[in-house]
């Protein structure tokens, strides 16, 4: 009885190794239309390692009807093993977006290989009506390394696999009548099925731009420039302080640059301040102007008028002076002093 028990254990171990040692599946498909998908039955949102998504397609199981032509999912961790429902997986793929071949018919894939027995070489076939009753071969242009499905150095790596959909291939499956099902498998029966479409110029990137009220296009639509924010550098009469136009005479920054003090009237025209043309002389006071309107001895102007202020008669809009007004006494005194100085100099 012991030999019989050992034989059963050995046979069970053999079948266990056969079914679980090799692990690989289609991790991603990059379509020419920028659609991405995975192999049928892949559940990347479940907890656990990637190996639980391994697709197992055994010819005996398919012929016996225990699995579908796309096989079953190995499962493990948070994913229970299950037989792939081809119709449901096709509907899910169409809802998410089916990747298409490129213009030369290439289908680019990434195949996750967990261990040496999940390696290449791979063969790929396609079903035009998505029933998998009749399969047509697809040439492989980029192959996964391996010998009869094994590669001693293959472990936890996503290998590139590129198959080409023939130019005369016609896809008429799925709800839209334009989808094929592709099946890629290694010699040990590990791989995946996936939904694909042939190349179509209207399904490629770079088509017509979306309407201007949509933001999901390759570029954002043109929008009118927003109104300028009120702040520095804006010529707006409603802004107080540093934001005024520097070319305006009533700008505080312009007044400071011209040496004007805070006693200037807001509407005083540029150049009317007598202190702008003050001569560089040591005898003149810093804030005194050389204008004849400055108060001196004998002047009949108001004695309490502050130095440097403009007479109200000189302001814009004030009373106009008489055209033939007599010369002010201040001017006569200045002339007398200059004549007297001239006589002294002539002596």
Query: Residue 206 has what DSSP assignment?
Result: S
Q: Kindly state the percentage of the chain with pLDDT values over 70.
A: 52
Q: In the chain, where do the E strands start and end?
A: 24-30, 36-37, 55-56, 72-73, 82-83, 106-113, 123-127, 136-138, 140-142, 157-164, 180-185, 191-196
Beta-carbon contacts of residue 193 (< 8 Å; ≥ 6 apart) = 39, 40, 55, 69, 70, 71, 84, 86, 89, 132, 181, 182, 183
The pLDDT of residue 245 = 52
Decide if pLDDT at 272 tops 90.
no
What is 292-335 written as a DSSP string?
TTS--TT--S-TTPPTTPPPGGGSTTSPPPPTTPPPPHHHHHHH
The residue-averaged pLDDT of 98-113 equals: 96
> Distance between alpha carbon 241 and the CA centroid of its chain, in Å?
38
Ordered by start, the domain boundaries in the chain are 20-42+50-196
Mean pLDDT of the chain: 71
Paired strand residues for 110: 28, 160
The pLDDT of residue 240 = 44
Decide if pLDDT at 10 tops 90.
no
Asked if residues 160 and 110 have their Cβ atoms less than 8 Å apart, the reply is yes
The residue-averaged pLDDT of 259-279 equals: 48
**pLDDT digit string (tens) for 184-216?**
999 999 999 999 999 988 876 664 444 444 433
Task: Give the span between the Cα atoms of 254 and 264, in whole angstroms.
Answer: 13
The residue-averaged pLDDT of 28-47 equals: 90
Mapped onto helix, strand or coil, the DSSP state of residue 275 is: helix
The pLDDT of residue 172 = 96
| Residue that has been written with the tokens 């796309």 in this structure | 70
Name the H helices within 220-280.
252-257
Paired strand residues for 159: 111
Which structure tokens are listed for 241? 């302080």
The residue-averaged pLDDT of 25-51 equals: 89
> Greatest CA span in the chain, whole angstroms?
157
| Residue that has been written with the tokens 């802004």 in this structure | 239
Beta-carbon contacts of residue 51 (< 8 Å; ≥ 6 apart) = 23, 74, 76, 114
**pLDDT digit string (tens) for 230-250?**
544 444 444 444 444 545 555
The predicted model scores a pTM of: 0.55
């Amino acid at each position: 009885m012991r030999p019989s028990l050992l034989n059963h254990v050995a046979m069970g171990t053999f079948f266990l190794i056969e079914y679980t040692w090799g692990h690989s599946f289609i991790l991603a498909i990059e379509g020419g239309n920028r659609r991405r998908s995975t192999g049928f039955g892949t559940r990347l949102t479940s907890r656990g390692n990637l190996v639980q998504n391994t697709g197992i397609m055994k010819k005996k199981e398919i012929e016996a009807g225990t699995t579908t032509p796309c096989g079953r999912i190995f499962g493990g961790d948070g994913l229970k093993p299950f037989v792939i429902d081809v119709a449901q997986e096709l509907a899910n793929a169409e809802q998410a977006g089916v990747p298409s071949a490129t213009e030369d018919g290439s289908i680019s894939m990434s195949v996750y290989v967990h261990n040496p027995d999940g390696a290449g070489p791979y063969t790929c076939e396609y079903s035009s009506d998505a029933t998998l009753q009749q399969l047509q071969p697809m040439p492989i242009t980029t192959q996964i390394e391996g010998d009869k499905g094994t590669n001693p150095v293959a472990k936890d790596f996503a290998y590139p696999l590129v198959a080409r959909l023939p130019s005369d291939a016609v896809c008429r499956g799925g709800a839209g009548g334009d989808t094929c099902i592709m099946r890629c498998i290694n010699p040990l029966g590990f791989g995946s099925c996936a939904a694909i479409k042939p190349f179509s110029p209207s399904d490629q990137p770079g088509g017509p731009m979306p309407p201007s009220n949509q933001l999901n296009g390759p570029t954002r639509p043109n929008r009118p420039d927003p109104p300028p924010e009120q702040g520095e550098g804006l010529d707006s009469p409603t802004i107080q302080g540093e934001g005024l136009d520097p070319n305006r005479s009533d700008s505080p920054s312009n007044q400071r640059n011209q040496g004007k003090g805070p006693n200037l009237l807001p509407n005083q025209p540029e150049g009317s301040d007598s202190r702008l043309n003050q001569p560089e002389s040591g005898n003149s006071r810093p804030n005194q102007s050389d204008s004849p309107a400055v108060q001196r001895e004998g002047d009949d102007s108001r004695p309490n008028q502050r130095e440097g202020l403009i007479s109200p008669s000189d302001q814009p809009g004030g009373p106009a002076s008489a055209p033939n007004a007599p010369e002010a006494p201040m001017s006569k005194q200045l002339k007398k002093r200059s004549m007297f100085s001239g006589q002294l100099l002539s002596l």
